[in-house]
Amino acid sequence: MKKAVTITVTGILLMGAVIFYFVTFFAYIPSDKFFGFPVPKNAKLVKGKERVNMYDWSKASEENGIPPGYKLVIKSKGWKERDREGASTYYEKGNKIIDLISQTDELTLIKDKD
């Protein structure tokens, strides 16, 4: 009986981990414009310029920043958080820098000049 409970609990935890992985990592796509920086799939592009993209994204918040899952994906793709100023967080990968601005329901990405 104890063995069956252990197997069941292990199975549930494993399924939870698999679901978390897929929900988290497949919710973001690499942006060619921003050197492969991950962008939420469900974020709607509202304005795009040469170095800037603004997205409508309900999970963005000025008070709380971006969700922990998004931070995990950014880090897993090799981007390192370098600096923070208010709503701006600067990420660096090699010699590339991305400024991610999280405001209420709005996400903005700005890349350094090439």
Closest CA to 98 of 41, 30, 21, 47: 30
Record the pTM: 0.82
The secondary element (H helix, E strand) that includes residue 23 is helix 2-25
Helix axes 2-25, 68-76, angle to 10 degrees: 80
Q: What is the pLDDT of residues 17-56, one digit of tens each?
A: 777 776 666 789 999 999 999 999 999 999 999 999 999 9
